[in-house]
Amino acid sequence: MIRFDRVSFSYGPRFVLQDVSFSIRAHERVAILGESGVGKTTILKLILGLIRPDSGRIFIDGEEINDMTEEELRKIRMKFSIVFQEGALFDSLNVKENVAFCLREYSRMSEEELDMRVRALLRIVGVEQAMELMPEELSGGMHRRVAIARSIAAYEPKMFLYDEPTSGLDPINAEKICRMILNLSENQSGLLIVTHKVIDALKVAERFLFLKEGSILLDGSKEALVRATIPEVKAFLSELHFHPDS
């Protein structure tokens, strides 16, 4: 579904990605790991066409997206459900209206149908009781769940994209988010999660890409990750006090 062919990207004089190549099938559960600033979130933005590569080619379902118009990219983006780290709820709208926003944009549902659909989505993520609350009244975990409900409101995605979905959450809420991420992929939808939290990545992913200085140092299974002899990978795991047998 996703293919990067020797993709490079820089912010001004600073290279973020250099000749990065990989392919991800629609049903795979993949985690991108690495320290801050190595290009993890940049990859998500490139997949969605929010930014364009300096060189190389990006394919989604066999279509090259580098030179697509915004209208063409809109159709590409509808293949994905994307939840960025900050959640990005509308501060002026309550939970119900945040989730209903895309439904009002892309469907012709009646108010009764909208209400039923929003309730069903919030029930899926376990926050139906928060329908009338404003974003500032939500806990971090609830805020993240509402953002996920809104991201799947208007259509059925082929793949879920998550940018640091458990960042800033306590262990209990992080565990709930991980379980929800897995539940949403039960129907064979794939997922791509960007995170620096190895423990959470291991709970939801089957394949792991490790980025360092703009390059992929490792692409493999859980076993390949935790038994890696690559110094940079071992150092990353060690710094997070992660042990393969824990």
Structure tokens at 26: 């629609």
What is the value of pTM for the model shown?
Answer: 0.89
| Under 8 Å between Cβ of 20 and 2 | no
Beta strands in the chain (DSSP E): 2-11, 14-24, 29-33, 55-60, 63-64, 80-83, 159-163, 190-194, 207-212, 215-221
DSSP of 197-222? -HHHHHHH-SEEEEEETTEEEEEEEH
Q: CA distances (Å), 162 to each of 31, 82, 212, in order?
A: 9, 6, 20
Using CA atoms, how far apart are residues 190 and 202, in angstroms rounded to an integer? Answer: 15
The predicted structure's pLDDT at residue 196: 87
The predicted structure's pLDDT at residue 84: 81
Taking residue 106's Cβ as centre, other Cβ atoms within 10 Å add up to 12
| Under 8 Å between Cβ of 165 and 197 | no
Q: Is the dihedral of CA 92, 135, 184, 49 positive or negative?
A: positive
The predicted structure's pLDDT at residue 245: 55
Q: Is 92 left (phi over 0), alpha (psi -120 to 50) or beta?
A: alpha
What are the residue ranges of helices labelled H in 125-197?
Answer: 140-151, 171-184
The predicted structure's pLDDT at residue 241: 57
- Relative to beta strand 207-212, strand 215-221 is antiparallel
Using CA atoms, how far apart are residues 1 and 7, in angstroms rounded to an integer? Answer: 16
Residue 211's closest CA among 185, 226, 232? 232
Residues forming beta bridges with residue 23, ordered by sequence position = 3
Block mean pLDDT (10 aa), the chain, length 246? 97 94 97 92 96 98 96 93 79 94 84 93 92 94 90 85 91 91 86 93 96 95 94 84 55
| Under 8 Å between Cβ of 66 and 117 | no
Domains of the chain, start order: 29-51+70-239 (3.40.50.300)
The predicted structure's pLDDT at residue 168: 87
Q: Which residues of 157-188 are buried (b: 16+ CB within 10 A; e: fewer)?
A: bbbbbbbbbbbebeeebbbbbbebbeebbeee
